[in-house]
Amino acid sequence: MTASFSPRIIDMPSATAMASLAPGFGPRFMLFVDTEEEFDWGAPFDRDARAVTHMRGLAEGQARWAAAGVRPVYVIDHPMADSPAAAAMLGQWAADGACDIGAHLHPWVNPPFVEAVNLGNSYAGNLPRELERAKLHALVERIERGTGVRPIAYRAGRYGAGPHTAELLSELDFRLDTSVRSRFDYRGQLGPDFFSMPLTPWWTGPRGEILELPLSTAFTGALRGLGAPLHRLAEGLANAGGVLMGAMSRLNLMSRVPLTPEGVTSGEAVAAIDALLADGVPVLSFSFHSPTLEPGHTPYVRDAADLAAFHRWWDVVFDHLARRGVAPCGLAELLDAVIPRQDAARACHAA
């Protein structure tokens, strides 16, 4: 089965759809872990690549988050939920109150297997509605059966939300989506364009009942106020755009910095945190991929030295967040802090 691909799949929310948090709640930060199988990032997508051997690294990471008072949200995909050992470990952490569990859909390793395995179909939102629905239902059932937790938070694999995703999440009683990666445009890879989406939460779903919390990305540097138009201009310059962005970054004029330890230095992350706080972003959303917690699975941690640097990154970032008065936040805390909106449905339909 193939799918047709749209160049833009999520509409910009209106001003009235933006969510409000309880006074005094922020600023806070959350940690989301894309908890998934190991695969070769440079190879074609492979349905048989379902190994989840990095449990020791994941356990070490969890111990570090717990020591720092951080309650991560593990958004887990089908191979992870399908592993008895992995599911039991994650389920126990959730039962102990040490983490939250969400869902993460990698279509190529998530049944039913009826579509062709290719770049376009790697984004669940590009699939026909009923196929995306069937995969989501299979994923939720497997997570609940394996961990004892029914997930209410979601992130589409490869940030691949589509025109039917919010409706399908509502059908399954999800309350939070984290699929939007603001300041990134994946149309060149047949994915969605999130570049102009807000950095602060908003309501989505058929009745405005799902909170959208975008991943956090900041423009930093002397020209950061011109970040969006300058970056759009650079993207339109093909190969020359990359040269321009690289030069501006080296000169500390402007850089695009997502809050992740993958490919981002701790110094860059600290600058991005400060920029986001200056812009009044109430919830900073950090993320990374779970296989990075052991050497050899992702490009970011190839050996023991890389892993040590990865953990030092978090030490620096957590220390800076503490100095800036940014406390960690769990899933329930965030959802409890959102002010109910009587006009949520009306706002979303107007978006």
Q: Read off the pLDDT of residues 92-123 as tens digits, 9 standing for 90 and up.
A: 999 999 999 999 999 999 999 999 999 999 99
Rounded to an integer, what distance in angstroms lies between the CA atom of residue 120 and that of residue 7? 11
Residue 225 tokens read as 């106020």
The angle subtended at Cα 22 by Cα 205 and Cα 271, nearest 5°, is: 90
Cis ω before 340 (30° cut-off from 0) = no
The pLDDT tens digits for 150-206 are 999 999 999 999 999 999 999 999 999 999 999 999 999 999 999 999 999 999 999
- pTM for the model: 0.91
Owner of token pair 């957590």: 318
What is the predicted pLDDT for the residue at 344? Answer: 41
pLDDT at residue 238, as a whole number: 54
Residues paired with 287 in a beta bridge: 32
Enumerate domains of the chain plus CATH numbers: 24-216+283-350 (3.20.110.20)
What residue has token string 């011109």? 226
d(C-alpha 9, C-alpha 297), whole Å: 31
Give yes or no for a contact between 33 and 74, defined as CB atoms under 8 angstroms apart.
Answer: yes
Q: How far apart are CA 204 and CA 177, in angstroms?
A: 9
State which H helix or E strand residue 328 sits in: strand 327-328
User: How far apart are the C-alpha atoms of 329 and 336, rounded to whole Å?
Assistant: 11
